[in-house]
């Protein structure tokens, strides 16, 4: 595996080939027009490329909404390595820039963004949350974002999309026909960049990125009649609100329940939870989600948090194929991750300290490329490789692992 050619991060981004532009528009508008996409543009009058476009990230349809929103202009896009899998030529030729997720101090990416803006004169698109929203609420954003904006010295626009998560939550990969909307706002003009302190730019970015898809659904009375709308919800609501037991939740159809104490909830067509018996403690689903985060933070603070499991590991060194690495062990504590693989052909010991991870990429029901089994996984990357790590014995762990990563990082920042 050491001799395997790695993905070429240094390859310069390209302008989209003219013959692919009609295809991009066709794929975009065929998905967004039937969903009545409305783009509300704020402070955008007279703004022309190049500029940096920061987008919220909810589902695959994000890319089509983005294409629709910037029409008639085209752009370059930052895309994770797995997005290039078996279609690198196509992605390169529509302007994609490769990236491994949650790798700090990625100076190569910065140079690619700078090249796109200064040499290609293109709108340059970044999804700074780095992966699909787990709960339809704002995910963690990198601390370096505002500093990067100051150095790039171009206008900053935020595209905050609504309805995309409701169309296809990452833990329930159906495809609901939900009306879509987006707010496209220039939050920093070119003239302001030199004047504004980093803290103010950071505040503007965070403010523009605020969203809550379940609140949006309820406020706009968007009815989702999907008879399987709650399936998979237990993967993110893994701790019972009644008895407090973790990893004994399950869901199917329109209900979520605890196998430990039996408490059940029904999710109505407007996204609200209703207890089938007893108290409805969290009608607004993200409130339940954030309570689990607080519980995990307390465990980190009092020293009781610990994760260890046997895992199966696959590597993605390039865009050609996932490579099986076999079995290993993953440990996570307040200090960070330790992944070991004892394969004699390619032994691995990967340590990721908490100070280097403000968040982590997780997947639900992801397909192992070596044997076709579907399971949840956590993804850890270096600048040269990406490892997909599947717990073998412990179920529904990845959401809590993400909480623990984010809260350990916050605790370090405030200590």
**Residue 87 within a domain:** yes
Residue 290 in any domain: the answer is no
- 273/146 same-domain check: no
Would you say residue 29 lies in a domain? yes
User: Which alpha helices (H) appear in 7-58, and where do they start and end?
Assistant: 21-32
The answer as to whether 93 is a domain residue is yes
In whole angstroms, give the CA distance from residue 38 to residue 360: 32
CA dihedral 280, 402, 209, 157 (to 10 degrees): -160
Residues 6+ apart with CB under 8 A from 219: none
* pLDDT score recorded for residue 245: 98
Strands (DSSP E) found in 72-174: 75-80, 96-99, 123-126, 156-162
Shared domain check, 239 and 170: no
Considering the domain boundaries, does residue 335 fall inside one? Answer: yes
Statement to judge: residues 264 and 354 lie in one domain? no
Kindly indicate the confidence band of residue 2, based on its pLDDT and cuts at 50, 70 and 90.
Answer: low
Are residues 159 and 45 located together in one domain of the fold? yes
| Distance set, CA 252 to CA 135, 171, 181, 229, 351 (Å) | 18, 12, 29, 8, 37
* Tokens describing residue 232: 């998979």
Residue 360 clears pLDDT 60, i.e. is over it = yes
CB 167 within 8 Å of CB 176: yes
Quick: pLDDT tens for 30-71: 999 999 999 999 999 999 999 999 999 999 999 999 999 999
Strands 264-267 and 255-258: antiparallel
248 with 316, same domain: the answer is no
Q: Do 410 and 351 sit in the same domain of this protein?
A: yes
**How many domains does one find in the chain?**
3
Are residues 120 and 249 located together in one domain of the fold? no
Cα–Cα distance for residue pair 96/78, rounded to 1 Å:
6
User: Is 47 inside a domain boundary?
Assistant: yes
pLDDT number for residue 4: 83
Domain at 143, CATH number: 3.40.1130.10
- Given the structure tokens 């790039």, which residue do they identify? 152
User: Quick one: 108 and 35 in the same domain?
Assistant: yes
Q: Is the pLDDT of residue 27 over 90?
A: yes
Q: Do both 203 and 56 map to the same domain?
A: yes
Query: What pLDDT was estimated at residue 345?
Result: 77
CA angle 349, 354, 360 (to 5 degrees): 85
- 270: domain range? 233-283
* DSSP-assigned states of every residue in 125-152: EE-TT-S--SSSBPPP--TTHHHHHHHH
The residue to which tokens 């995910």 are assigned? 139
In terms of DSSP bridges, do strands 96-99 and 75-80 run parallel, antiparallel, or are they unpaired? Answer: parallel
Burial class (CB in 10 A: 0-12, 13-18, 19+), 73: middle
Closest CA to 109 of 160, 52, 187, 67: 52
Which DSSP state fits 212? B
Confidence at 269, pLDDT banded by 50, 70, 90: very high
Residues 118, 151: one domain?
yes
pTM for this one? 0.95
H-state helical runs in 33-75: 62-70
User: Given 186, 219, 252, which residue is the final one in a domain?
Assistant: 219
pLDDT at 343: 80
The pLDDT tens digits for 311-320 are 999 999 999 9
Antiparallel, parallel or unpaired: β 96-99 and 38-42: unpaired
Helix (H), strand (E) at residue 198: helix 198-208
Residues 209 and 261 in one domain: no
Give the separation between CA 21 and CA 40, rounded to whole angstroms. Answer: 24
pLDDT digit string, tens, across residues 175-210:
899 999 999 999 999 999 999 999 999 999 999 999
Q: Are 304 and 290 in contact (CB under 8 A)?
A: no
List the end-to-end C-alpha distance of the chain, in Å, as a whole number: 40
Check pLDDT > 70 for residue 1: no
The strand order across the sheet containing 336-341 reads 348-353, 336-341, 323-333, 307-315, 386-391, 374-381, 361-367
Q: Are 91 and 325 in contact (CB under 8 A)?
A: no
Domain assignment present for residue 296? The answer is: no
- Asked if the structure places residue 227 within a domain, the reply is no
- The pLDDT mean for the chain works out to 95
pLDDT in tens, 320-353: 989 999 999 999 999 999 999 988 877 899 999 9
- Sign of the Cα torsion 158, 163, 168, 171 reads positive
Q: What are phi and psi of 292, to 5 degrees?
A: -65, -40
């Amino acid at each position: 595996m050491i001799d395997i050619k790695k993905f070429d991060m240094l390859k310069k981004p390209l302008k989209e080939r003219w013959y692919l532009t009609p295809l991009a528009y066709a794929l975009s508008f065929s998905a967004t027009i039937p969903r009545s996409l409305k783009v509300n543009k704020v402070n955008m009058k007279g703004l022309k490329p190049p500029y940096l476009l920061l987008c919220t990230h909810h589902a695959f349809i994000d890319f089509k909404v983005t294409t629709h929103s910037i029409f008639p202009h085209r752009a370059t896009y930052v895309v994770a390595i797995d997005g290039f899998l078996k279609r690198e030529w196509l992605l390169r030729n529509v302007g994609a820039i490769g990236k491994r997720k949650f790798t700090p101090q990625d100076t190569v990416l910065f140079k690619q963004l700078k090249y796109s803006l200064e040499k290609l004169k293109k709108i340059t698109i970044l999804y700074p949350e780095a992966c699909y929203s787990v709960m339809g609420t704002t995910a963690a954003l990198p601390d370096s974002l505002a500093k990067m904006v100051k150095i790039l010295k171009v206008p900053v626009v935020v595209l905050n999309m609504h309805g995309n998560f409701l169309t296809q939550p990452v833990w329930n990969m159906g495809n609901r026909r939900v009306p879509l909307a987006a707010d496209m706002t220039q939050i920093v003009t070119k003239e302001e960049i030199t004047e504004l302190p980093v803290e103010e730019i950071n505040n503007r970015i965070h403010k523009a990125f605020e969203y809550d898809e379940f609140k949006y659904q309820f406020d706009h009375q968007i009815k989702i009649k999907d008879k399987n709308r709650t399936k998979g919800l237990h993967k993110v609501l893994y701790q019972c609100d009644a008895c407090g037991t973790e990893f004994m939740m399950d869901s199917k159809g329109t209900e979520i329940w605890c196998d430990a104490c039996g408490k059940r909830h029904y999710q109505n067509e407007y996204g609200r939870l209703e207890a089938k018996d007893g108290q409805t403690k969290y009608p607004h689903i993200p409130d339940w989600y954030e309570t689990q985060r607080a519980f995990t933070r307390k465990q980190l603070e009092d020293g009781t948090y610990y994760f260890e499991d046997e895992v199966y590991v696959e590597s993605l060194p390039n865009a050609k194929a996932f490579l099986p690495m076999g079995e290993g062990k993953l440990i996570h504590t307040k200090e960070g991750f330790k992944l070991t693989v004892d394969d004699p052909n390619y032994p691995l010991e990967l340590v990721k300290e908490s100070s280097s991870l403000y968040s982590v990429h997780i997947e639900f029901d992801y397909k192992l490329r070596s044997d076709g089994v579907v399971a949840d996984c956590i993804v850890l990357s270096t600048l040269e490789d990406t490892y997909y790590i599947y717990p073998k014995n412990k179920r529904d762990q990845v959401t809590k692992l993400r909480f623990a990563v984010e809260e350990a990082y916050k605790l370090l920042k405030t200590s």
